[in-house]
Amino acid sequence: MKILIVEDEPDLLEIIQQSLEMENFLVETAGNYNSALDKIISFDYDCILLDIMLPGGNGLDLLQELKNLDKSDNVIIISAKDSLDDKLKGLNLGADDYMTKPFHIAELTARVKSVLRRKFFQGKNLIVIGNLKLDPEERSLLIDDQALLLNRKEFDILTYMIVNKNRLVNKTSLAEHVWGDHMDQADDYEFIYSQIKNLRKKLKDNKADVEIQAVYGIGYKLVQV
């Protein structure tokens, strides 16, 4: 899953980023209002950790911008301001949670996971589709209760495709979610083709009840067979 941290304290930002990356999240960062605004307009995120007091503007205005754009990015506000008015305004604007600094990084990580489980997996730890059982936190996959080893990118692709089951996922969205925002600078998508090819072969060889179908020139779709 792809996380954006909007935080102007470099030390805290680094600690949060390292903690989330250790949990195998793909993490992007923004240290000021304008940088964050550019990112939320240009890209989609599964969860945004949003500070309120930022150089150049207020984080609540970014939350309003997300609402104006009709984006479904989950938002956890992280703020030094323990203000009831700010909490209520943030929650009313669509924030999913509000944490007051200082906080334990382990608690923040747990809340991120909880928000993502509610959004994508109906609050469950295990995703079951056909004969597949996928555990996003343990990063494990079973097919007919037999473990199938995937590399990190293959697992991330499969998870993203399952979240978007039966939807057409274009190559750009897939690249940004699995490889990060820098992929808009890539010359081609050869790196996606090779990972998809290997993943499709593994699913087929292990008689999975799903397959990833290619839609020529556009992207991919995961369907149950």
Residue 146 covered by a domain = no
Question: What is the structure's pLDDT at 130?
Answer: 92
> 129 lies in a domain?
no
pLDDT given at position 44: 87
Q: Which domain holds residue 68?
A: 2-120
Distances (CA, A) of 66 to 40, 43, 93, 97, 182: 7, 11, 9, 15, 21
The per-residue pLDDT for 191 is: 78
Residue 140 in domain? no
Kind of pairing, strands 47-50 and 210-215? Answer: unpaired
In a domain, 169, yes or no: yes
Number of structural domains (the chain) is 2
Classify residue 6: in a domain, yes or no.
yes
Residue 86, domain member (yes or no): yes
Q: Are residues 35 and 103 in the same domain?
A: yes
Instruction: Write the DSSP string, 103-169.
Output: --HHHHHHHHHHHHHHHHSTT-S-EEETTEEEETTTTEEEETTEE----HHHHHHHHHHHHTTTS-E
3-state secondary structure (DSSP) of residue 20: helix
CATH of the domain at 70: 3.40.50.2300
Tell whether 159 and 114 lie within a shared domain.
no
Low-confidence residues of the chain, pLDDT below 70? Answer: 121-124, 181-188
- Does a structural domain hold residue 32? yes
